[in-house]
Structure 1
Amino acid sequence: MPIPTSSLRSERICVWCGLALVVLLGVGFVLAGLVPPPSPASSGEQIRDFYAENADLKRVGIILLSVGGSLFLPFGVAVAAQLRRIEGPGSPAAYVQLGAATITAATTIIYTFMMLTLAYRPDGRSPDVMLALNDLAWLPFVGVWSPGALQAAAVAVAIFADRRPPGERILPRWLGWVSAWMAFTSLTGSLVPFFTDGPFAWNGLIGFYVAATVFLGWYLAVFTVLLRTTAPRVRGAAT
């Protein structure tokens, strides 16, 4: 049964949300001056000074982070649609991936609003409160790795379970390996709560830079594949 053109167009919009979320997150981090994030070894006074400096620009950047985070959900819908085409209507991988995308979107919004609270009136709060709020925002924001890893693992499982001939597969096998690698490397987030400095801290080389590169790189890889996968079907349905 052909897929309605309107449904394909809606799916195409959801696919483009993958690129939009990467751009919004990247621009938001830069505008807010969060590259790198404030050090977990900082004192409460240093945290207060950090959020008081260019506070309006930080607020704008953090709002962009929140908007970008909300786009994890529609992009997750686009990924789930492809996994359903691989596994069929009862696709467990599609539901797991979509549920994990929902958690990723919700937690991103929650933790970015904690950052907004820090930038809202930093001069009116005690250093101890600023320090606690900063820990509460950044420790899970960087260290909670399981929803993203679960998304990638679900994609990998579905791709590897696809027994179609290579030319007929919905998603390429290499994306399964990239997804498996993303899920595995996400485990480094488990080390973030044990360090306040060094490469595994939330502002460190591995804890932040490598993790962000792998995380956002996976979304770009999936976006690229889905863009190519959905385009011919949209054109075919429209003609």
Structure 2
Amino acid sequence: MDNETRKKVELAIAWIGPLFIFAYIVFWAIMGNNLPPPNMMGMSGEELVANHYGKYQNMIAVGMIGSAVFGMLYLPWSILLAWMLRDEDGSFSLFGYMELGGGILTAWVLAFCPAIWAACAIFAHEMNPEMLKLVHVFTWFIYDTTFMITTVQLTGLGLYVVLAKSQNLFPRWTGWGAIAVGIIFMPLVLIPFVSSGPFAVNGTWNFYIVFGTWLFLFFAPFSYYMIQAVKKGSTLMPVVASSYAH
């Protein structure tokens, strides 16, 4: 692949990041009635059907199917990001593999869980309400309490940015920000055990702070600098870039 073609492909993939986040906000947050999500641990099955799945059945079903489709866009974005995390000799770095592995698994969760919530919406009036609540809650536990896969991604990314002195793709503060977001995820383990307060599924910390910092401290800045790096043709370490030029 010649340099100009490679640059066009990388730029298209870099822009997939903003497309993913826009689509996920529309389908998962707005159409999925997740601003904030229902307080599942403080609701009965009948209340979950009456106030969530039954009330917004068609909108949630469409929103969750859309989320399952567009959630996988996180995958090519994460792959491009891992591609940029090279050691000085041009080889893939350990931290790059951490980012890649975490990104792959995170993309799967972002697509897999909404598909199950779509089924809950479609069969909301045919399932036993308590069974529907069990499936809904079980899926939320997968969605949130497996946060460590994304924390691994963020930690690998952050350590690379902070420790790779020769890289100039991302400012050091973005690396520290990525690590901080991974730590901010930790209280998600409390979701199964609380039904109110900041650590509930719809609480100040475990919803607004977690998703807000993930978006504005991690995803937005890295998407911006990825796009800028591709535009400048500087997505690789100099030694690797020179090999592509020949």
User: Common fold, TM-score beyond 0.5?
Assistant: yes
| CA RMSD of superposed structures (Å) | 2.0
Map of 2:98 onto structure 1: 96
Q: State yes or no: 1:44 paired with 2:45.
A: yes
Q: Which runs of 4+ in 1 moved over 4 A?
A: none
With over 3 angstroms needed to count, the CA separation of the structure-2 counterparts of 1:87 and 1:178, relative to structure 1, is: farther
Map of 1:219 onto structure 2: 219
Moved more, 123-132 or 2-11: 2-11
With over 3 angstroms needed to count, the CA separation of the structure-2 counterparts of 1:120 and 1:87, relative to structure 1, is: farther
Map of 1:53 onto structure 2: 55
CA contact (8 A) 1:47 1:134 kept: no
3-state SS of paired residue (2:201): coil
- Per the TM alignment, residue 6 of structure 1 is displaced from its structure 2 partner at its CA by 2.0
Q: How many pairs does the alignment contain?
A: 231
Map of 1:23 onto structure 2: 22
Relative to the length of structure 2, the TM-score reads 0.87
Map of 1:231 onto structure 2: 231
Question: For residue 58 of structure 2, what is the amino acid of its counterpart?
Answer: D
Map of 1:201 onto structure 2: 200
- Deviation per CA, 1:140-162: give whole Å up to 9, x if none: 21332112111111111111222
3-state SS of paired residue (2:65): helix
Mapped partners of 2:4, 2:56: distance in 1:
47
Map of 1:144 onto structure 2: 146
**Aligned pair partner of 1:131 in 130, 133, 136:** 133
Q: Which has the higher helix share?
A: 1
Mapped partners of 1:44, 1:143: distance in 2:
21
Moved more, 126-135 or 90-99: 90-99
- Per the TM alignment, residue 85 of structure 1 is displaced from its structure 2 partner at its CA by 6.1
Question: For residue 169 of structure 1, what is the amino acid of its counterpart?
Answer: N
Mapped partners of 2:8, 2:89: distance in 1:
22
Q: State yes or no: 1:174 paired with 2:173.
A: yes
Mapped partners of 2:80, 2:62: distance in 1:
28
Question: For residue 114 of structure 1, what is the amino acid of its counterpart?
Answer: I
3-state SS of paired residue (2:196): coil
Which sections of structure 1, spanning at least 5 residues, go unmatched?
Answer: none
